[in-house]
Amino acid sequence: MIFLFVTGKILPLPPVGGTRPAPFEPPQGGNAARVRKLSGVLCCSPYYYSVALPVYKTAQHHNMKFFIDTASLDQIKEAKDLGILDGVTTNPSLMAKEGISGDKNVLDHYRAICELVDGDVSAEVIATDFKGMVEEGERLSDLAPNIVVKIPMIKDGIKAMSYFTDRGIRTNCTLVFSAGQAIIAAKAGATYLSPFIGRIDDISWDGVELIKDIAEIYAIQGFDTQILAASIRNAKHIVDSARAGADVVTCPLSAILGLLKHPLTDIGLEQFLADHKKVNELLLK
């Protein structure tokens, strides 16, 4: 049997003239990036239809997740009702925006969010020292099984992420603005990595380019950390992040709803309804 080594996984090639022997194991973790790489490498080769395409189709079960970036229970409910919501991210500013203050209220609010959604809920620590982050992170992770402890990209944060990784507690590394930060967070075993693409655009750099860069590095290195495109400002950011290989996008509700909009859809629907009404009014005469 011939084997093909792709981004840290061994994939069996089909025997010449034969059928594919076994279902391919889809790449775990940062799938979008890995599959993008695989398809890119093989799309011009004879193996594209026999290897890359089946792997791509299998991996579609792991397509880009949609998180909402808010602490508002109303907005979380609205996104959940669309049936497309995979999780929630919050941060101290978003909690403050909802007027949530005091330890008990903060914990109660996270509990309420976790009851509302099945998917992962990122809850951010306020402490900036190792001991404080560990204590706070453990308290947060005890709230519900879907809590992911969100930790800032600082030296003690990396120590805390390594500590949580060793204990099977999932983390989201936040405030990421460079590929170097992405590499060290992945080494520390972060479950999610949050590059802030909108804030990078704000300083006239290119946030989506950073997503592409990290996706390529993670694919080459076989890191399992999922790229969670954060600081999304509009629907175009979501589309560009999907193309760049993000595993997750976390978006304000307005950006999610922005995906629905096209003027030709509105014009077309108006025309359909008008034509329907016209012909049915004729019937009544």
Which residues are known to be catalytic?
150
Name which of 174 and 191 has its Cβ closer to ligand E4P.
Answer: 174
Contact between 199 and ligand E4P per CB under 6 A: yes
Least Cβ distance, residue 192 to ligand E4P (angstroms): 9
Measuring CA to CA, how many Å separate 260 from each of 29, 256, 273? 28, 8, 19
Q: Which is nearer to ligand E4P, 51 or 71 (CB)?
A: 71
- Residue 58 vs 178, nearer CB to ligand E4P: 178
Query: Which CB, 122 or 141, lies closer to ligand E4P?
Result: 122
Phi, psi of 48 (to 5 degrees): -55, -50
**Is residue 225 a contact point for ligand E4P (CB under 6 A)?**
no
Determine the 3-state secondary structure of 256 from DSSP: helix
Which of 151, 230, 246, 248 is the binder for ligand E4P (CB under 6 A)? 230
Contact 22, 32 (CB under 8 A): no
Q: Is 136 a binder of ligand E4P (CB under 6 A)?
A: no
Task: Evaluate the CA torsion angle 127, 128, 131, 134 in order and state its sign.
Answer: positive
Where does this chain touch ligand E4P (CB under 6 A) — which range of 1-9, 111-119, 190-198, 219-227?
190-198
Helix, strand, coil shares, percent, the chain, to 5 = 50, 15, 30
Scanning residues 96 to 115, which ones bind ligand E4P (CB under 6 A)? Answer: none
**Eight-state DSSP code of residue 2:** -
One residue of 8, 132, 198, 222 binding ligand E4P per CB under 6 A: 198
Structural tokens at position 145: 């099984």
- The yes or no reply on residue 70 touching ligand E4P (CB under 6 A) is no
Strands 9-12 and 3-6: antiparallel
Instruction: Identify the residue among 31, 75, 146, 174 touching ligand E4P (CB under 6 A).
Output: 174
Q: Which stretch binds ligand E4P (CB under 6 A): 35-43, 49-57, 195-203, 212-220?
A: 195-203
Could you tell me if 191 and 141 are in contact, meaning their C-beta atoms sit under 8 angstroms apart? no
Beta strands in the chain (DSSP E): 3-6, 9-12, 65-69, 87-89, 120-124, 147-152, 171-176, 192-195, 226-229, 248-251
* Type of residue found at 150: K
Nearer to ligand E4P, 44 or 203 (CB): 203
- Closer of 39 and 98 to ligand E4P (Cβ): 98
Q: Which stretch binds ligand E4P (CB under 6 A): 13-21, 126-134, 191-199, 212-220?
A: 191-199
Element (H, E) at 180: helix 179-187
Distance from the Cα of residue 39 to its chain's centroid: 20
250 binds ligand E4P (CB under 6 A): yes
Q: How many residues does the chain have?
A: 285
Three-class DSSP category at 161: helix
Across-strand partners of 120? 87
Binding mask 73-92 for ligand E4P (x = CB under 6 A): ----------------x-x-
Residue 175 phi/psi, 5° resolution? 65, 50
Site track for ligand E4P across 28-67, x = CB under 6 A: ----------------------------------------
Residue numbers of the site for ligand E4P (CB under 6 A)?
A: 69, 89, 91, 174, 194, 196, 198-199, 230-231, 250
